[in-house]
């Protein structure tokens, strides 16, 4: 079927066929998810055989709502967010047919968790300055280096990895993109304790890790272009998440305001109104962004959404702590935990306040995203870059 030929009624007919053949009440969760993928109801806009039907992306919500109403299990998207939001669209755009068929199905069903091996101790905001090396050895690449700020590396089976394959080229040109087996010899994951007391982040050491050339994504030296696809999708997945009205971080603050009148002051009321309106504007803007996404690849607008998401989360969580007074300073769990997901719900206000500090760093620092918005959205002159045409090996470090 072509995208124009696939209608909502046809998708709903597929849903009914899936539910009849695999009743959610009597079908194991994994079996149901695999059947849903095979029926083309995972990502409806993906091609046939890869979890979709080639339908319009906007029709996904109809499928999701019908399955939810029938009590069907979902794929726990928060646990596998890196795979869904970053790895999958990149594999779809640059992967071989063999790579797409090997990786997309277990990625979507959650049988294989993914992480992202991009940032390094000396290459965070300036990601293209990365120094992790990959050297060709026959049909393999041998990787040496260190990555940092790697969410979910302790639970991941696979990673998207960028490494330098030609240090004689300028920094953006000598990078290649790989799919790395996190269980391979030489991969070491160490926890990074955060201000919350948790360790959802990690540092990853790669020592003589062998990656088959068959797990290279895109051409040799094309890694920066491939990585940009990942990064644009990452910012949309972080800043453009679908939430209901008065959802997200504003929800517990608004609830506390309504349920506990003794906490109210005029000053806090004004700030809550302003942030509530901003949160609603951001939510509606996110809806418009998803409509644009349905027409093609994400653009730099996702950077603006991610900027807004970070600022609002920090301001709203700060207001919540101030509203609750001494109670807002409490945080029940300072022990070292290794969570599988980042969960803002059902947690203390103190946790939300502390964890939100990372929102302006993860997925691209706010300072770098401001440059992207200025240059690529507003068309302002680019900042001078003296190192753009220099060989990476000649750069000062």
Q: State pLDDT tens for residues 122-180.
A: 887 789 999 999 999 999 999 999 999 999 999 999 999 999 999 999 999 999 999 99
Higher pLDDT, 325 or 336: 325
Longest dimension (CA), the chain: 71
Please give the Cα distance from 336 to 198 (Å, whole number). Answer: 5
Q: What is the CATH number of domain 227-377?
A: 1.20.140.10
The answer to whether the beta carbons of residues 229 and 90 sit under 8 Å apart is: yes
Among 12-16, 79-83, 296-300, the range scoring the smallest mean pLDDT is 296-300
Higher pLDDT, 125 or 276: 276
Could you tell me the two tokens for 28?
Answer: 């194991």
Could you tell me the two tokens for 365?
Answer: 């620092």
Is the confidence at residue 77, as pLDDT, over 60?
Answer: yes
Is the confidence at residue 393, as pLDDT, over 70?
Answer: yes
Is the confidence at residue 3, as pLDDT, over 50?
Answer: no
Please give the Cα distance from 101 to 103 (Å, whole number). Answer: 6
pLDDT band at 294 (very low <50, low <70, confident <90, very high): low
Predicted pLDDT at 68: 96
Q: How far is CA 298 from each of CA 51, 120, 217, 290, 361, rounded to the nearest angstrom?
A: 20, 25, 19, 9, 20
Mean pLDDT of the 46-69 span: 94
Is the confidence at residue 269, as pLDDT, over 60?
Answer: yes
Predicted pLDDT at 273: 95
Instruction: Assign 153 to helix, strand or coil.
Output: coil
Predicted pLDDT at 1: 47
Chain centroid, CA 290 distance in Å: 15
Which sequence spans correspond to the domains of the chain?
Answer: 1-74, 227-377
Among 37, 51, 40, CA closest to 11: 40
Active site residues: 234
Question: Which H or E run contains 275?
Answer: helix 266-293
Is the confidence at residue 298, as pLDDT, over 70?
Answer: no
Predicted pLDDT at 236: 63
Predicted pLDDT at 241: 62
Mean pLDDT of the 336-354 span: 81
Buried residues in 205-240 as b, exposed as e (16+ CB within 10 A): ebeebebeeebbbbebbbbbbbbebbbbbbbbbbbb
pLDDT tens digits, one per residue of 229-265: 998 877 666 555 667 888 889 999 999 999 999 999 9
The answer to whether the beta carbons of residues 80 and 105 sit under 8 Å apart is: no
The answer to whether the beta carbons of residues 55 and 45 sit under 8 Å apart is: yes
- Computed over every residue of the chain, the mean pLDDT equals 90
Predicted pLDDT at 346: 74
- 210 pairs with which residues across the strands? 142
Please give the Cα distance from 377 to 259 (Å, whole number). Answer: 42
Predicted pLDDT at 235: 63
Find where tokens 């240059």 sit: 375
Higher pLDDT, 385 or 73: 73
């Amino acid at each position: 079927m072509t995208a124009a030929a696939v209608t909502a009624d046809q998708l709903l007919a597929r849903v009914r066929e899936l539910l009849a053949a695999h009743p959610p009440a009597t079908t194991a969760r994994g079996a149901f998810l695999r059947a849903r993928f095979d029926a083309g109801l995972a990502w409806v806009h993906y091609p046939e055989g890869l979890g979709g039907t080639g339908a319009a992306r906007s029709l996904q919500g109809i499928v999701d709502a019908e399955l939810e109403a029938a009590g069907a299990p979902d794929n726990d998207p928060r646990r596998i967010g890196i795979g869904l939001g970053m790895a999958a669209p990149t594999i779809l755009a640059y992967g071989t047919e063999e790579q797409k068929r090997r990786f997309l199905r277990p990625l979507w069903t959650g049988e294989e968790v993914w992480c992202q091996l991009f940032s390094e101790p000396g290459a965070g905001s300036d990601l293209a300055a990365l120094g992790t090396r990959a050297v060709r050895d026959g049909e393999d690449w041998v990787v040496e280096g260190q990555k940092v700020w790697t969410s979910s590396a302790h639970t991941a089976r696979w990673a998207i990895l960028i490494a330098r394959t030609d240090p004689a080229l300028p920094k953006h040109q000598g990078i290649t993109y790989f799919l790395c087996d996190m269980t391979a010899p030489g991969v070491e994951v160490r926890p990074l304790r955060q201000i919350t007391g948790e360790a959802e982040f990690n540092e990853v050491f790669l020592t003589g890790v062998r990656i088959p050339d068959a797990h290279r994504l895109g051409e040799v030296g094309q890694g920066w272009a491939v990585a940009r696809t990942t990064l644009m999708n990452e910012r949309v997945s972080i800043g453009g998440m679908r939430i209901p009205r008065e959802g997200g971080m504003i929800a517990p603050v608004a609830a506390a305001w309504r349920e506990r009148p003794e906490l109210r002051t005029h000053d806090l009321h004004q700030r809550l109104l302003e942030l509530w309106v901003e949160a609603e504007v951001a939510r509606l803007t996110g809806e418009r962004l998803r409509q644009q996404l349905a027409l093609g690849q994400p653009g730099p607008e996702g950077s603006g959404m991610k900027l807004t998401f970070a600022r609002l989360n920090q301001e709203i969580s700060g207001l919540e702590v101030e509203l609750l007074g001494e109670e807002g300073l409490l945080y029940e769990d300072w022990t070292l935990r290794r969570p599988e997901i980042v969960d803002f719900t059902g947690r203390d206000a103190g946790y939300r306040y502390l964890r939100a500090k990372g929102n302006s760093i993860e997925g691209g620092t706010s300072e770098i995203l401001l440059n992207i918005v200025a240059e690529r959205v507003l068309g302002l002159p680019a900042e001078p870059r003296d190192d753009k045409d220099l060989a990476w090996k000649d750069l000062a470090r």
